[in-house]
Every structure is written in structure tokens, then in C-alpha cells.
């Protein structure tokens, strides 16, 4: 009855994807293919101003001249960008619902199944700690809750397409100011075809009264999701924002190429958390989401602070480097990451910390867990410019391997142009340890519980950065990712 | 309580145990001594169910049950405890988390409800006090950054918390200074009871000065070659193991 390594692999292999259902709903989907006409169609459909159409077309023309990045440590067949549909929305959302009562019950049910009961949440407000939620289904936002309450505090939280209509001067000022339209291949593509996403604006001196959260769901087949999120925290403002993602279980790969831009002015703080659970593909590596995302925060103001916390358990391929530009003096950038690659999943993820201002500090904590045939790379850049007197960085990068067919790789890059900089880098790779499992089991703890306990312990430093209720969720998600029958 | 008959076991294809017999009754303390490589630790891990330790012949019954067909966690839930020679570090998992998970798993196995959170803390703190363990250490990662002596004391702490029926302590005395050895012995003696038994695997007679065994066995070449009372341990201390191996 002794556990063989095979049993452990089996345990890792049989993960169950609980968000893999499809919502049967009538959708309007633009036929596959990308051209200036498609972009004009998206823009017209959203009744966008000319400047935004121009932004999209500029990005598209730049994109045509660019090549897909090849440097990441991931392998996949070439993507046919003409086979993807760039816009899809549930028919019932052709006119934006004015309140939750107008939302198609099937959509509400979808979110209920995913554990995001939009209706109850509004009703329970005041009892449980409320979280304002924006939900994006394929290419459009379904509903945003607690808008009224947030408005009272002066906080704007709405779909970005709505912000374009209602607050064009803010969007125009900040859109593309952190991630320029030609930043990279996928950012250019996103700038050309982005459909929806969230917009957050926290005015001077305001501490956002609740957690903000956006929930992204891809439902339609052959559809890409290109969301765009823009968060602005004015002087002394504070906001904590969380995004969650799921998609149905399908045999073909789907592309998700998002751009997230954060701007923190003097003394402002933005905490951005992600729990990413896109469909990872099956155990042979069929299907799953290609998650090619550009996320960047600009600590534009003095003493500003931006923290990225990510728990990445899904996607077939992840290509993602949430970064901070530490422009303001005494600004702080943080990156806390847990990434799980199981079966045939591949992830090339990490961060960039660009120190520009004086006394800027950055912290990087990356925890990678690989199982099955999963391949994972940490890729991180710490750049200290001439102007960045007394910059500090601490990087800690730990990998945990489960089984002997997975891989962990570390690619740390540093560029230091100021001699006062102090950089520290620690890296460890450990194997989950058969002896740790045995030790727990010899105390009466089942193998499954022991795996979950050990992995959660490994990730503790990152989980403690998540908002409380999401930390619990993340722990559970990790347990599900590693769940299976014990032999 | 424990009946081992003609036990043969291999590790990595190598025969280590070659026909071992041992009977332990409730209330007894047995010491198993022997030279390095004689199979002492193998015996401990075979009893606890470590993978890769293959039993090729023989039987082991624990409280009437066939021990060998149970996975390690079920053996622990039945009341068997192994104190590790090399306790494992589990970073980020606090001692309290491990102890609570273990205690509740064992309670669940017995059909008892989960322990109340306050009762649990009171109980663990009391055990920690006996072992001279700073309560702050309970919140630290399991054995994370502990010294050799702290790890061994932590093993006995776990034993006190879990209250097993049969404790197998694998070289718990090695690497301890005299003060730590006394604390460990105190932990063991405190748990001695008519319904409970101990198997102390040790290389030296030192621990036996503080924990008086009822029986002493010499393991050599994968079998028990000599058994006796406490006086056998002293004889071994004087003469070494050579005279037995030669015999």
C-alpha cells in the first residue's frame, strides 16, 4: 500500500476544471478575421469618438509590421489571427441593461454557478463585507454592482466602453500612457481590437470604500477576449482591485490578450490582485486559453505604491509580466506571484521593475509550482537608471516540482546604471518532497490533504497579500488544481 | 499489541531485514540496539509504511490488524507513531497547522468530532511546556530552521499531543546534549502507561539511563540476535557489538 510516485502523478493529473461549462445563449459574433473594417465595426458598434478609432487604427497598422515575440520559453503552433472572432456579445446585451433586473437570467445563472451571485450580493450588502463587481462576458460588460455607493465616495467604477462615453477626457488622458499602443505585439493587437474591461478612477484623497472586482468570462467558441483595464489613483488615493477569469472547456485554443494600465499619482496606492483560472486544456494539452497579457503600473507620483499579486492556475500558455515603473521618488513596486503549471501547461511569467526615481524600492516574490509535464519559467528584469539614487530591490524566486517530468527555469535580468543601487536575489528549487508527504501521512494526514497543506505553505507569503476572502478562495483553488483520487 | 513474525524487507533491491521476530505487549518499553546498517531504521520505516520499503515475507499485526495492508496515515490513525531520526522541514506550514490537521484526522478516524480551537491551543501549549518549547515556535514552519535538538524535541511534542498507543522512536537521542536528552526522556516517561508501549531504536545506551526499558534486543544482520533485560544494554556499552556479530 505504499504510495508510489505514480500515485502522486495521478493525483496531480486528475485535476478537475469546475468552471468548464458553456452557457447556451444567443450571441452576436462578428465573423472571424481582422481588418480595418472589423476595427471600424467594433468602434462604430460602441459609438466611439474619432480619437479612439484613430488610436485603434494606428495600433493595427503598427501591429501589421510587428512579429510575434519568440523569446519566451513556451512552445505552441502558430496562431492564425484571421481565424479568431474579435467581437462577441450576448444578444440580450445589445442594449446595456440599466439594472440587474434587466439582465438575462441565464447570464446571472452563469455567474451564480461560478460562485459570483450578483443579485444576492447587492442584497447582502451591509451584512457581509461588500465587493463591487463588474462582470465581462466575452466582449461586453454585463453589469457593475454598487455603482451608486461608489459614486457617493466619488469613485468611478464602470466598463471602459461606458467610461469612453461618460468620461472621455479621463480615458483620453490616460489610455495608452502606460502601455503605448505599439509597446509589443499583443499590446498592439489589444489596442486595435479591445472590446471591454473595467475603468476605475479614485479621486484625490479618497480611500475606495470597498474592494473592486472584475470577473472575466469567455463563453463563445473561436472568440478572443481582448479586455482593457485602466485604473487611476489620484494624489493620496487608495484602491484594491481584483480580477478573476474562467472559460468553458473546449478542444481548441482561445486567445486572451489583455492590457492593464495602472497610474498612481503622489502618495497613491493601488493593490491589484488576479486569480486567473482560465481553462488550462486537458491532460494531453488539447484546448485551453493562450493568456498573453501586458500589465504595467506607473508609479508616477512621489511615494506612490503599486502591488501586483497574482495566483495563476489556469491557461494552456501564460505570457505575462506585470511590471512597475518607479518614476516618482520614494515610490514602491511589489510583485507577488503563485503560478501553477500542471499536465501540459506552460508559463513564462515574472515582472519588470524599472527604477527611475530616487529611493525607489521594489520587492519580487515568485512561487512556481510545476507538476505533470508542466513547464514554468520565471523571467524578471530589475533595471536601475542613472537617476535612481539609492534604489533597492529584493527578489525571491522559489520553484516547487512535483514529479520528475516537469520543469522550472529562472531567467533573472539586471541592468544597473547607478552605483548606489542595492539588489538582492534569492532563488531555490525544491522537489515536493516525498519525505514531506510521508512525514505528514505518518501523523495521520491523508495524502491529498498533505499535498494541499504543503503547497499552501509554500505559497503563504503570496496569499497573505491577497484580500482576505480571496486568500481563502485562492487556497481552495490551489487545492482543486491539485485534487484527485488518492490511490 | 505488536506482533512481528519472520519479517523480511528490501530497500532498493537490497535485503535488509531477514527474518525478524518481535512481540511487544501493552505497557512495555523495548529498546532495539545494534550497529550501524543492521536494519534498525528500516524496521521503523517498514512499521510506519514508508514507500520503497518492500516487505517480501512475514507478517506484522498491530492490535490484531494486518498492519502491512494499511497506508501510513491509517497506521497513524490506529495509534502508531514514528518519531523520525531526521525530522522533515515543511516551510510555511506551521507546527500548529500540522498538529491540528493530524489530531483532527485521527479523531475523525475514531468517529470523534473536530477538536475545539481553544481546547486545542490549551492542550498543545501544555505539551510544549513539558518539552520546554517556546510557544512562539509553535507558529513557526514545521522544523523550519530548527536545530537538531529542537527537531527531536518537536518529535516528542507531537507524540505528547497525539497520544499514540505505540510509539517507535528512531534514534531520538542522537545529536542531543545531556539537558535535551533529559527533556526528551521526561516526555517519554510522562507518556508511559499500562495501555501504551514504546519501541526505542537507539545506537547508544545513554537514553536508557533515563528511560528504563523492560527489554533490550540486539539487531544485527537483519535479525534479532540477542534479547535480554536492561543489563544487556550495559553489557553492549562495555563490549560493543563485535562479540555478537562474530557469534
ipTM summary value: 0.95
Q: Nearest by CB to A443, which of B69, B102, B141?
A: B102
Residues of B in contact with A4 (CB under 8 A): 51
**pLDDT reading at B247 higher than 60:** no
Range with the lowest mean pLDDT among A25-29, B53-57, B158-162, B217-221? A25-29
Residues of A in contact with B46 (CB under 8 A): none
Residue to test with chain A: of B51, B107, B112, most A Cβ within 10 A: B51
Sign of CA dihedral B233, B239, B244, B245: positive
| A290 DSSP β-pair partners | A255, A317
Residue to test with chain B: of A444, A448, A451, A458, most B Cβ within 10 A: A444
Residues of A in contact with B50 (CB under 8 A): 2, 438, 442
Q: Is the CB of A440 less than 8 angstroms away from the CB of B90? A: yes
Residue to test with chain A: of B42, B93, B146, most A Cβ within 10 A: B93
Residues comprising chain A, all counted = 487
CB atoms within 10 A of CB B223: 18
| Segments of chain A with pLDDT less than 50 | 1-15, 120, 122-129, 484-487
Residue to test with chain B: of A442, A454, A461, most B Cβ within 10 A: A442
Q: Which pLDDT belongs to residue A145?
A: 66
Chain A closest-CA separation from residue B45 CA (Å): 10
Q: Which pLDDT belongs to residue A114?
A: 60
Q: Which pLDDT belongs to residue A124?
A: 40
CA within 13 Å, CB half, A221: 7
Asked if residue B146 lies in contact with residue B180, where contact means CB atoms within 8 angstroms, the answer is no
Q: Which pLDDT belongs to residue B175?
A: 82
Q: Which pLDDT belongs to residue A250?
A: 58
Q: Is the CB of B88 less than 8 angstroms away from the CB of A449? A: no
What are A227-259's pLDDT values in tens digits?
Answer: 899 999 999 999 999 887 665 565 667 788 899
Chain B closest-CA separation from residue A436 CA (Å): 6
Q: Cα(A191)–Cα(A306) distance, rounded to whole angstroms?
A: 23
Nearest chain B residue to A448 by CA distance is B73
Residue to test with chain B: of A437, A439, A450, A458, most B Cβ within 10 A: A439
Q: Cα(A11)–Cα(A202) distance, rounded to whole angstroms?
A: 45
Which whole-number Å values give the CA distances from A60 to A88, A161, A261, A424, in the listed order?
Answer: 19, 19, 19, 40
Q: Nearest by CB to B52, which of A1, A2, A454?
A: A2
Q: Cα(B193)–Cα(A143) distance, rounded to whole angstroms?
A: 66
3-class secondary structure, A222? coil
Q: Cα(A245)–Cα(A156) distance, rounded to whole angstroms?
A: 22
Q: Is the CB of A2 less than 8 angstroms away from the CB of B49? A: yes
Q: Which pLDDT belongs to residue B4?
A: 96
Q: Is the CB of B105 less than 8 angstroms away from the CB of A460? A: no
Nearest to A431 by CA among A454, A415, A412, A447: A454
Q: Which pLDDT belongs to residue A129?
A: 47
Q: Nearest by CB to A2, which of B53, B97, B98?
A: B53
Q: Nearest by CB to A453, which of B77, B93, B162?
A: B93
Find the mean pLDDT for residues B165-187: 90
Q: Which residue do the cell numbers 507620483 mark?
A: A301
State the pLDDT confidence band at B16, using cuts at 50, 70 and 90: very high
Find the mean pLDDT for residues B133-148: 91
Asked if residue A156 lies in contact with residue A163, where contact means CB atoms within 8 angstroms, the answer is yes
List Cβ neighbours of A38 (8 Å cut-off, separation of 6 or more). A30, A86, A87, A193
Which cell numbers hold the place of A398? 522559489
Q: Cα(A362)–Cα(A391) distance, rounded to whole angstroms?
A: 8
Residues of B in contact with A1 (CB under 8 A): 49, 68-71
Residues of A in contact with B97 (CB under 8 A): 453, 457
Q: Is the CB of A454 less than 8 angstroms away from the CB of B90? A: yes
Q: Is the CB of B49 less than 8 angstroms away from the CB of A442? A: yes
Q: Is the CB of A441 less than 8 angstroms away from the CB of B49? A: yes
Write down the mean pLDDT value for chain B.
Answer: 91
Q: Cα(A110)–Cα(A19) distance, rounded to whole angstroms?
A: 10
Q: Cα(A299)–Cα(A358) distance, rounded to whole angstroms?
A: 12
Q: Is the CB of A439 less than 8 angstroms away from the CB of B87? A: yes
Nearest chain A residue to B140 by CA distance is A457
The better pLDDT of the pair A465, B137 is held by B137
State the pLDDT confidence band at B169, using cuts at 50, 70 and 90: very high
For residue B176, count CB atoms less than 10 angstroms from its CB and return exposed for 0-12, middle for 13-18, buried for 19 or more: buried
Q: Cα(A310)–Cα(A244) distance, rounded to whole angstroms?
A: 10
List residues of A whose CB lies inside 8 A of any B CB.
Answer: 1-4, 433-436, 438-447, 449, 453-454, 456-461
Q: Cα(A473)–Cα(A201) distance, rounded to whole angstroms?
A: 27
- Inter-helix orientation angle B117-130/B148-162, to 10°: 130
Q: Is the CB of A2 less than 8 angstroms away from the CB of B71? A: yes
Residues of B in contact with A433 (CB under 8 A): 88
Nearest chain A residue to B161 by CA distance is A443
Q: Nearest by CB to B51, which of A2, A453, A459?
A: A2
Residues of A in contact with B49 (CB under 8 A): 1-2, 441-442
Residues comprising chain B, all counted = 247
Q: Cα(A349)–Cα(A427) distance, rounded to whole angstroms?
A: 15
What are A32-49's pLDDT values in tens digits?
Answer: 888 888 888 888 888 899
Residue to test with chain A: of B101, B104, B141, most A Cβ within 10 A: B101
Q: Nearest by CB to B101, which of A434, A449, A460?
A: A449
The better pLDDT of the pair B208, A214 is held by B208
Residues of B in contact with A445 (CB under 8 A): 73, 98, 101-102, 105
**pLDDT reading at B241 higher than 90:** no
CB atoms within 10 A of CB B66: 10
Find the mean pLDDT for residues B30-55: 92
Chain A closest-CA separation from residue B219 CA (Å): 24
List Cβ neighbours of A432 (8 Å cut-off, separation of 6 or more). A8, A400, A401, A402, A451, A454, A455
Q: Is the CB of A436 less than 8 angstroms away from the CB of B162? A: no
Amino acid at each position: 500500500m505504499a504510495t508510489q510516485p505514480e500515485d502522486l502523478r495521478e493525483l496531480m493529473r486528475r485535476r478537475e476544471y469546475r468552471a468548464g461549462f458553456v452557457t447556451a445563449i444567443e450571441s452576436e459574433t462578428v465573423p472571424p478575421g481582422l481588418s480595418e473594417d472589423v476595427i471600424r465595426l467594433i468602434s462604430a458598434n460602441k459609438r466611439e469618438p474619432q480619437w479612439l478609432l484613430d488610436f485603434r487604427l494606428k495600433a493595427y497598422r503598427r501591429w501589421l509590421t510587428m512579429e510575434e515575440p519568440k523569446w519566451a520559453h513556451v512552445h505552441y503552433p502558430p496562431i492564425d489571427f484571421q481565424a479568431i472572432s474579435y467581437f462577441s456579445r450576448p444578444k440580450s446585451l445589445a442594449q446595456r441593461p440599466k439594472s440587474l433586473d434587466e439582465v438575462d437570467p441565464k447570464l446571472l445563472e452563469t455567474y451564480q454557478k461560478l460562485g459570483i451571485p450578483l443579485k444576492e450580493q447587492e442584497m447582502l450588502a451591509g451584512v457581509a463585507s461588500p465587493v463591487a463587481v463588474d462582470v465581462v462576458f466575452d466582449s461586453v460588460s454585463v453589469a457593475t454592482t454598487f455603482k451608486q455607493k461608489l459614486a457617493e465616495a466619488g469613485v468611478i467604477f464602470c466598463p471602459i466602453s461606458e467610461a469612453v462615453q461618460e468620461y472621455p477626457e479621463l480615458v483620453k488622458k490616460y489610455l495608452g500612457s502606460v502601455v503605448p499602443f505599439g509597446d509589443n505585439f499583443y499590446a498592439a493587437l489589444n489596442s486595435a481590437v479591445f472590446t471591454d474591461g473595467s475603468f476605475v478612477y479614485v479621486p484625490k484623497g479618497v480611500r475606495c470604500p470597498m474592494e473592486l472586482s472584475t470577473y472575466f468570462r469567455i463563453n463563445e467558441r473561436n472568440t478572443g477576449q481582448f479586455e482593457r483595464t485602466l485604473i487611476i489613483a489620484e494624489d493620496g488615493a487608495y484602491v484594491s482591485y481584483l480580477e478573476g477569469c474562467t472559460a468553458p472547456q473546449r478542444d481548441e485554443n482561445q486567445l486572451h490578450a489583455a492590457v492593464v494600465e495602472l497610474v498612481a499619482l503622489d502618495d497613491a496606492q493601488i493593490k491589484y490582485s488576479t486569480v486567473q483560472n482560465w481553462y488550462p486544456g486537458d491532460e494531453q494539452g488539447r484546448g485551453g486559453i493562450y493568456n498573453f497579457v501586458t500589465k504595467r503600473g506607473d508609479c508616477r507620483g512621489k511615494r506612490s505604491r503599486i502591488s501586483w499579486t497574482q495566483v495563476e492556475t489556469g491557461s494552456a500558455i501564460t505570457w505575462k509580466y506585470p511590471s512597475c515603473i518607479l518614476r516618482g521618488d520614494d515610490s514602491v513596486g511589489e510583485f507577488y506571484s503563485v503560478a501553477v503549471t500542471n499536465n501540459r501547461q506552460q508559463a513564462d511569467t515574472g515582472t519588470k521593475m524599472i527604477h527611475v526615481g530616487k529611493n525607489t524600492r521594489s520587492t519580487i516574490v515568485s512561487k512556481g509550482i510545476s507538476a505533470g509535464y508542466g513547464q514554468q519559467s520565471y523571467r524578471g528584469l530589475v533595471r536601475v537608471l542613472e537617476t535612481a539614487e539609492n534604489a533597492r530591490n529584493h527578489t525571491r524566486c522559489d520553484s516547487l516540482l512535483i514529479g520528475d517530468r516537469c520543469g522550472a527555469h529562472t531567467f533573472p535580468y539586471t541592468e544597473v546604471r547607478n552605483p548606489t543601487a542595492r539588489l538582492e536575489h534569492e532563488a531555490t528549487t525544491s522537489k515536493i518532497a516525498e519525505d514531506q508527504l510521508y512525514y505528514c501521512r505518518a501523523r495521520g494526514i491523508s495524502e491529498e490533504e498533505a499535498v494541499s497543506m504543503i503547497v499552501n505553505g509554500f505559497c503563504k507569503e503570496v496569499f497573505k497579500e491577497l484580500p482576505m476572502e480571496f486568500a481563502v478562495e485562492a487556497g481552495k483553488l490551489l487545492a482543486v488544481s491539485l485534487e484527485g483520487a488518492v490511490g | 499489541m505488536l506482533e512481528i513474525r519472520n519479517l523480511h524487507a528490501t530497500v532498493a533491491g537490497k535485503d535488509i531485514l531477514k527474518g525478524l521476530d518481535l512481540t511487544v505487549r501493552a505497557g512495555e518499553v523495548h529498546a532495539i540496539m545494534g550497529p550501524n546498517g543492521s536494519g534498525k531504521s528500516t524496521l521503523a520505516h517498514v512499521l510506519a509504511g514508508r514507500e520503497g520499503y518492500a516487505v517480501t515475507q512475514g507478517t506484522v499485526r498491530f492490535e490484531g490488524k494486518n498492519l502491512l495492508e494499511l497506508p501510513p496515515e491509517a497506521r497513524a490513525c490506529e495509534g502508531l507513531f514514528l518519531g523520525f531520526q531526521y525530522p522533515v522541514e515543511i516551510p510555511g506550514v506551521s507546527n500548529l497547522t500540522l498538529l491540528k490537521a493530524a489530531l483532527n484526522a485521527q479523531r475523525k478516524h475514531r468517529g470523534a468530532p473536530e477538536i475545539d480551537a481553544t481546547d486545542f491551543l490549551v492542550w498543545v501549549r501544555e505539551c510544549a511546556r513539558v518539552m520546554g518549547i517556546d510557544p512562539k515556535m509553535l507558529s513557526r514552519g514545521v522544523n523550519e530552521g530548527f536545530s537538531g535538538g529542537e527537531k527531536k524535541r518537536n518529535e516528542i511534542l507531537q507524540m505528547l499531543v497525539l497520544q499514540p498507543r505505540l510509539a517507535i522512536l528512531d534514534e531520538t537521542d542522537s545529536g542531543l546534549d545531556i539537558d535535551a536528552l533529559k527533556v526528551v526522556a521526561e516526555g517519554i516517561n510522562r507518556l508511559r502507561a499500562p495501555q501504551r508501549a514504546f519501541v526505542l531504536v537507539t545506537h547508544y545506551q545513554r537514553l536508557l539511563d533515563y528511560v528504563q526499558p523492560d527489554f533490550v534486543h540486539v539487531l544485527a544482520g537483519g535479525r534479532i540476535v540477542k534479547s535480554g533485560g536492561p543489563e544487556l544494554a550495559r553489557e553492549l556499552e562495555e563490549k560493543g557489538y563485535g562479540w555478537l556479530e562474530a557469534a
